[in-house]
Structure 1
Amino acid sequence: MPDPSASIALRGLDPGKPWSTPDAGREIDYAVRQRFPLWGKRGLARTAAGQQADAAGLDRNAAARELLADAETAYVRYWHADVAVDVLDRRIALLRQIEEMAGVRYALGRAAQQDAIRAQVEQTNLQRERIERLTASQEATASLNALLGRPGDAPLAPPIAQPALPVHSPRLAEALDAVDAHPAVRSELARAEAAHTNAVLQRRNRFPDVTVGIGAMQLGNGLESTELMLEVEIPFQQRARREREREARLLEEAALARADHARRTVESRGATAWAQWTRARERRELIENTLLPQADATFQSALASYQVGEVDFGTLLEALNEWQGADLARVDALRDELLGAAAVRAIEGDIR
């Protein structure tokens, strides 16, 4: 319902003294008018406003879900950087042991001095990689602090365990079933519904509204008369009205297109996240179940053979790099698996 309007009119003013005290013969008219939308316009306007409010609330829910998903992703990167540094530290420690072994064999005349030097060079390369991983850890710390509303350099407790990010959908089809319930999609659908309601409202504006008014005329200090007014709009401006209807129709079509685009975008993100999660999981399982045992056995065999002089230092160093490199590849694959799981959970809505 539109707000009512009130008016007051002073008659018989003296042009020379318009604000002088009114005399006994001056007329004062009072009037109150209220426009009454007919043909269901008031209900349509109320419905459209409610749909727009629902869309705003869903926008808030979508932003909250994205924020939680970003927090999970940032924590995964923070955890991964810490674990990767631990793997590099173990690898550096093993290289130091091998360097000592090469030094002993060199002292006994069973190996060349370059074996120990190669071990030192390899340690230096790993130290460089360790610095890069620490930089990634600092970046993840800053990102996580920003999401938590803390200063970027605020200290964080070291990660205690691997993040638990279960995916509950057994297949991609089940995961994509949650697309229609995603708040980003629902908000655009709510806006499309509001645009449709507004289009209907514009078509209803072809029919005139009614304005009812009541008034009273004061003459001097007494009430002289009262009046009842009835006004009806005359729909002369058809061209402008048709253009407003066309605008409302195009806005509805645009809102429907945005809703379809939002749905396809969420579906694409879900399918991409599912592929990342499943492929990374397969890669991690292959490394854990096949590559790591093979690389470990190769290193143990090369170490035993090097101690008795059956293989050279290069073979031992290559076996060590393959073994520990496989462990680092396992950690990287686990990171990709967890990042994919976080993205899938954002589609499923299973974020805590």
Structure 2
Amino acid sequence: MTPAGALPDPTFEVELMDATNTMSGRSASLLPGQVGETRYRITQPLPGWGKRELAVKAAEAQAIQADAMRDTSWAELAAKIEALWLRYYAANRELVLNRDGLALLKSLEELSLARYALGLLPQQAVLRMQREISAQRLALVEIEQRRKGLAAGLNGLLGRSHDAPLAAPADPAPLPEHLDAGALFEAAASANPEVNAATYGIDVARAERERTYQDRLPDFAVGVRNNRPDEGKSSWDVMFEVMIPLQQSSRRAREREAEYMLMAAEARREDAKARASGELGIAWSMYAQGRETLRLLEHTLLPQAQATRDASQAALSSGKVDFDSVIEAERQLIDIRTQRLKTELDTRLALTEIKKLTGDLK
């Protein structure tokens, strides 16, 4: 922070005395040495005691706050990238699930056509099967378009061309079984990027207040002057100046402003803490709800839907159920798998938000 505590630049002054040359009777001139007397002066301003140290302190506080604001911006960008990547991952998974469902429906269509040709199945069952296949194909088109849009958005956030190829996303890390709410809220109050930036803003405001109160002390200046008369010997003068702090009303106004700026900085920190706590409460609740819903889907509904689908297919082979029952069982299984994927996505998005709010997103 050397520049902040450096002395002000000195000034250089040239003074032409008797530029009209009235005393010598010559014509007027603006050239040094051709007037009655030429004076050269160098002046160095000197801030009052402690002002340079306070300038360094204020600059350091501003630099730290700038770093904290940079960290805040990076946390926001990282959260956007991770959220978009999770949506891209979910779109890939959904595409695979729908393709598997379409393949199964096609195999059932072949079976239905064979039975229809033998007169064992009504035409309505074949038409419904074909409608289901068409609907599944439309869903695949919508998912593929959404996947391409997410890929373009992800490339944009990464600074790449919108059509740059992206590798198929690998499975993310398993979701934590339990999150300690108390530790999370403590982290949000102490490690949240916005809270940190607001805290460092208080340091900046406090340093500026100290500088403002230090302005009650005078500043100084020292200088030397060389006098060169047209006739006679040159001489040297030494100068010492003191700034007289007489404008008390404006100084008091600046001091009140500094106090209000400090109060505003403290209020911004409390506001950042409150917002971080509120947003964390919402994210934590969504995560806890998502984990409980995933447990229900994975351990209860999904196995039941798979068992129902398998049983209906077995019953179809023995002629105990019709194709409508098989199609309905397959549709329920596809819907539950899609719901599970959507719940997992929402839960992971909530976890990303928690990491951002607690300063854990790297």
Q: What TM-score, normalized by structure 1, do the two folds share?
A: 0.91
Shift of 1:66: 2.3
Are the aligned partners of 1:110 and 1:309 in contact in 2 as well (CA < 8 Å)?
Answer: no
Shift of 1:207: 2.7
Q: Whole-Å Cα distance in 2 between the matches of residues 165 and 296 of structure 1?
A: 23
Shift of 1:232: 2.2
Within a 5 Å distance, the mapping from 1:80-229 to structure 2 comes to 80-159=90-169, 161-164=170-173, 170-179=179-188, 180-220=190-230, 224-229=234-239
Q: Whole-Å Cα distance in 2 between the matches of residues 20 and 89 of structure 1?
A: 92
Q: Whole-Å Cα distance in 2 between the matches of residues 112 and 41 of structure 1?
A: 95
Give the one of 16, 27, 36 matched to 1:10.
Answer: 16
Q: What is aligned with 1:247?
A: 257
Are the aligned partners of 1:217 and 1:224 in contact in 2 as well (CA < 8 Å)?
Answer: yes
Give the one of 311, 314, 317 matched to 1:301.
Answer: 311
Q: Whole-Å Cα distance in 1 between the matches of residues 139 and 76 of structure 2?
A: 32
Relative distance call for 1:312 and 1:28 in structure 2 (3 A) is same
Letter in 2 for 1:3: D
Relative distance call for 1:76 and 1:221 in structure 2 (3 A) is farther
Shift of 1:21: 6.2
Relative distance call for 1:222 and 1:341 in structure 2 (3 A) is farther
Letter in 2 for 1:138: K
Structure 2 unaligned residues grouped into runs of 5+ = 1-6, 22-26
Shift of 1:92: 1.0
Q: Which moved more, 1:287-296 or 1:96-105?
A: 96-105
Give the one of 64, 88, 110 matched to 1:54.
Answer: 64
- Deviation sequence 1:227-268 (CA, Å, 0-9, x none): 222222223222212221222222222222222222323333
Structure 1 unaligned residues grouped into runs of 5+ = none
Shift of 1:166: 5.8
Shift of 1:325: 1.4
Within a 5 Å distance, the mapping from 1:254-333 to structure 2 comes to 254-333=264-343
Are the aligned partners of 1:292 and 1:323 in contact in 2 as well (CA < 8 Å)?
Answer: yes
SS at match of 1:30: strand
Q: Whole-Å Cα distance in 1 between the matches of residues 313 and 357 of structure 2?
A: 48
Q: Does 1:37 align with 2:43?
A: no
Are the aligned partners of 1:99 and 1:115 in contact in 2 as well (CA < 8 Å)?
Answer: no
Q: Whole-Å Cα distance in 2 between the matches of residues 309 and 258 of structure 1?
A: 71
Letter in 1 for 2:133: Q
Relative distance call for 1:221 and 1:323 in structure 2 (3 A) is farther
Q: What is aligned with 1:22?
A: 33
Letter in 2 for 1:163: P
RMSD: 2.3
Q: Whole-Å Cα distance in 2 between the matches of residues 232 and 44 of structure 1?
A: 20
Q: Whole-Å Cα distance in 1 between the matches of residues 162 and 224 of structure 2?
A: 65
Q: Whole-Å Cα distance in 1 between the matches of residues 48 and 37 of structure 2?
A: 35
Are the aligned partners of 1:169 and 1:175 in contact in 2 as well (CA < 8 Å)?
Answer: no
Letter in 1 for 2:16: L
- Deviation sequence 1:105-155 (CA, Å, 0-9, x none): 323333211111111111111222222211221121012111211011111
Are the aligned partners of 1:298 and 1:319 in contact in 2 as well (CA < 8 Å)?
Answer: yes
Identity of aligned residues (%): 33
Letter in 1 for 2:120: R
Letter in 1 for 2:173: A
SS at match of 1:177: helix
Relative distance call for 1:252 and 1:223 in structure 2 (3 A) is farther
Are the aligned partners of 2:33 and 2:228 in contact in 1 as well (CA < 8 Å)?
Answer: no
Shift of 1:35: 2.8
Q: Whole-Å Cα distance in 2 between the matches of residues 86 and 222 of structure 1?
A: 101
Q: What TM-score, normalized by structure 2, do the two folds share?
A: 0.88
Are the aligned partners of 1:167 and 1:341 in contact in 2 as well (CA < 8 Å)?
Answer: no
Q: What is aligned with 2:246?
A: 236
- Deviation sequence 1:276-297 (CA, Å, 0-9, x none): 3222222222111111110111
Relative distance call for 1:36 and 1:247 in structure 2 (3 A) is same
Q: What is aligned with 1:66?
A: 76
SS at match of 1:178: helix
Q: Whole-Å Cα distance in 1 between the matches of residues 32 and 264 of structure 2?
A: 60
